[in-house]
Structure 1
Amino acid sequence: MTTTPALSPPRPRAAQVAERRRGLLLAGLAAPAAAGVSGPALVVPQAAASLGVSVGAAAWLLTVFGIGMAAGTPLLTAAGRRRGPGGTLRVAAALVLAGAVTVAVAPGFAGALAGRALLAAGAAGFNVAAFQLAGRDGSGRSAGLVAIGSAAGGTAGLFGGAAVASAVDWRAALVLPLLSLAALVPVLRDATAARPAGAKAPETAETTGAAETAEETVRAAGTAERGGGGVPRILGSAPFLAAAGLMLALSTVNFGLMYAGPVRVAALTGWGPVPIGAYAALAALAGALASWGLVRLGPRLGTARVRALLAAGGVLAVALAAVGPWAWLVLLGSAVGSLATAGGQGLLTGASAAGLPESLRDSAVGLFNLAFLTGVAAGPALAAALV
């Protein structure tokens, strides 16, 4: 006798509305944190002149943020596992406030760098807590909204940084993660609420690379700390090395173009930072949104073709930005770089764990995302050196 499985009851509309509200609120927490990556990109010359350093040295105001996020993500995630998302939020808020004050009052370059590092660690904590709380709904929708908010914030930071620098001061472009504090009180209230009964956190593979960064990086660190021997095996895996290496290259290109692209547009047009920021942010956002089509097409293309397309996208992005004779071609290069990077996060994450036992999957994904964050830090430094 065949038994028909019971259908899951439709989810109440009130629950769906609550999930959407939570996702939007958490996106509001994560977006300004991500804007901290690109916020100073268009004010580096002003910062250099004010701080008495070269433009290349001042580009470290971008690089140190990537380093701070790479270091802060596993540390703040570990803290969240002990104290919960609420504890992570409080620590992150303290770090962001301390970093903003340091940036505001530090007279020299070293102080500005230290403030940016503190801001980055706090931004990483906001990102971690946002995805931890988004996992409570069990459907993955909240996590998806947070990921979109994070991506939008990272690209909008180009315009936001230029705009606040023009209206206030160049230091204001360095402290965009402060805006996350506007969502802190309602998010803290949500963090104290109990996890709904029966709720299950979404599978890592169903979230984007940003969500995986928050949860999986610390698991990779945990495996290394326990001396489980998993990390050497992961680093000896050819699929992992191929995926992580390509992700590192794409991330380096993308975040390098966030700095170098506007420099070339300014040289070609004579535009000021605000219009350049607006156009550059729109180009990067368009590329990130267009990546969804590539992610959907990826399974039909196969791993080899996907890697070839992504690599070609990275090369094309550099070529357009470096030698394009018109500003729109340079901006197109930024859009292609954003598309390839976002698509790479979506398509290469699973490939990084191919052939590894299930027990090592989380660690492989965590190390893969560390490769992404390394590119976030390395891109602006490399671009500044080349420019």
Structure 2
Amino acid sequence: MTGPLLAALAAPAAMGVSGPSLALPEAAHALAVTPAAAAWLMTAFGIGMAAGTPLLSATAGRRHGPAGVIRAAAVLVVLGALLVLLAPNLPLAVAGRALEAAGAAGLNVAAFQLAGRDRSGRLPGLVAIGSAAGGTVGLFAGAAVAGVFGWRGALVLPLLSLLSLRPVLRLASAEKAPDAESPRTPDSRTPDSPTPGPRSPALPLDILRDRRFLAAASLMLALSTVNFALLYAAPRRVAALTGWGSVETGAVASVSALAGALLSWLLVRAAPALGPARVKALLGLGSAVALVLAVTAPWPAAVLVGSGTSALVTAGGQGLLTGAATGGLPTARHGLAIGLFNLAFLIGVAAGPALAAFADQTVQFIY
């Protein structure tokens, strides 16, 4: 049950990205701002996650391990959600979303830290798929919650992570015990050794110069940006083409994107036979086709296929490209490299909705 448990911790963080998408028009009306300005409620979440990932990892993580990250992140999620629920204007709501996102990022980091101890790679894969599924289900969940509780409810979906908080904390405490004892064993010399410092530079210049890392991180940034732009834009285009309401649109958009996220497992399994070069080409081509379909096709079904394809290549790429990002680096630099790789993904989370909102306002390709 470890995989599903960690996926349940990470999934609501992804819901926080997509959940407000179909509730933004209502939020814009209530806050007396334009729809493009209201899109900052999504963009701020991506920025908060990008900032919270290294911050919580470097502070709570170093001293207290994953359990410390989880506790600090849960506090930030609650405080941010309270600010969102009480904010009388857009700037305070955006600030609350950023604070909530920093906490969600910490929960996501902790989930991957705990999953990363499984050398087979299956647990990280399950967490990645759970996160992708959360992002897609968030479209429907946000619309449904907004229909019952109002638009603010769609902005605080990361609170659902707290439902799995207690069992995950027990898991984190149990996993931490062997690490605490490892310096006492003869073979576990790394924690007390004076030599790792010189072998592991503090600044990540060696990582940023590595061609494999740069190629993998750049492709992940592109995949993520397209995917989260479509999480904002594709449901609106479907609604415009069909005349459906937000709940109906959210339901079909969630199903298509969720199907793509789940099918990414087939891509992960086929990757060894395809080879790294073909996998990267397939990811890039799939993302490009998804973008063209979602923004130009005159049929709702084609738009949904584009959204699902983007979810497929993004979820698959997050797992497959992680290995490519660290392939040319020494083992001691893998942790930091994965953190920087995830930062590239999160920059796309923030940039995608902002670019889609800009295009909506200036090019008018959605309506």
Same fold (TM over 0.5): yes
Q: 1:99-110 to 2 correspondence within 5 Å?
A: 99-110=80-91
Any idea what SS the aligned residue of 2:244 has?
coil
Q: 1:20-59 to 2 correspondence within 5 Å?
A: 20=1, 22-59=2-39
Q: 1:314-333 to 2 correspondence within 5 Å?
A: 314-333=287-306
Residue 238 of structure 2 is aligned with which of 248, 261, 265?
A: 265
Aligned residue for 1:168? 149
Any idea what SS the aligned residue of 1:339 has?
helix
Amino acid corresponding to residue 36 of structure 2 in structure 1: G
Distance verdict in 2 for CA 1:191–1:232, change over 3 Å: closer
Distance verdict in 2 for CA 1:288–1:98, change over 3 Å: same
Displacement of 1:141 in angstroms is: 5.3
Aligned residue for 1:68? 48
Task: Give the aligned length.
Answer: 344
CA distance in 2, matches of 1:352, 1:161: 33
CA distance in 1, matches of 2:225, 2:265: 20
CA RMSD, Structure 1 to Structure 2 (Å): 2.6
Calculate the TM-score normalised by the size of structure 2: 0.86
CA distance in 1, matches of 2:111, 2:43: 23
Calculate the TM-score normalised by the size of structure 1: 0.82
In the alignment, does 2:62 pair up with 1:81? yes
Distance verdict in 2 for CA 1:137–1:339, change over 3 Å: closer
Amino acid corresponding to residue 83 of structure 2 in structure 1: T
CA distance in 2, matches of 1:271, 1:168: 20
Displacement of 1:373 in angstroms is: 0.9
Unaligned runs of 5+ in 1: 1-19, 200-222
Aligned identity (percent) is 64
CA distance in 2, matches of 1:234, 1:135: 20
Equivalent pair of 2:27/2:38 in contact (CA under 8 Å): yes
Equivalent pair of 2:132/2:311 in contact (CA under 8 Å): no
Aligned residue for 1:14? none
Aligned residue for 1:295? 268
Amino acid corresponding to residue 107 of structure 1 in structure 2: P
Equivalent pair of 2:129/2:315 in contact (CA under 8 Å): no
Unaligned runs of 5+ in 2: 181-195, 361-367
Distance verdict in 2 for CA 1:287–1:137, change over 3 Å: closer
Amino acid corresponding to residue 163 of structure 2 in structure 1: A
Higher mean C-alpha deviation, range 183-192 or range 298-307: 183-192
CA distance in 2, matches of 1:135, 1:312: 29
Q: Deviations over 1:108-136 (max 9, x none)?
A: 00010011011101111222233344456
Displacement of 1:196 in angstroms is: 6.8
Q: Deviations over 1:349-382 (max 9, x none)?
A: 2222343344433333322221111101100000
In the alignment, does 2:208 pair up with 1:235? yes
Displacement of 1:195 in angstroms is: 4.7
CA distance in 1, matches of 2:222, 2:169: 37
Q: Deviations over 1:242-277 (max 9, x none)?
A: 221111111100000000001110110010111111
Aligned residue for 1:3? none
CA distance in 1, matches of 2:328, 2:130: 32
Equivalent pair of 2:54/2:339 in contact (CA under 8 Å): no
Displacement of 1:348 in angstroms is: 1.9
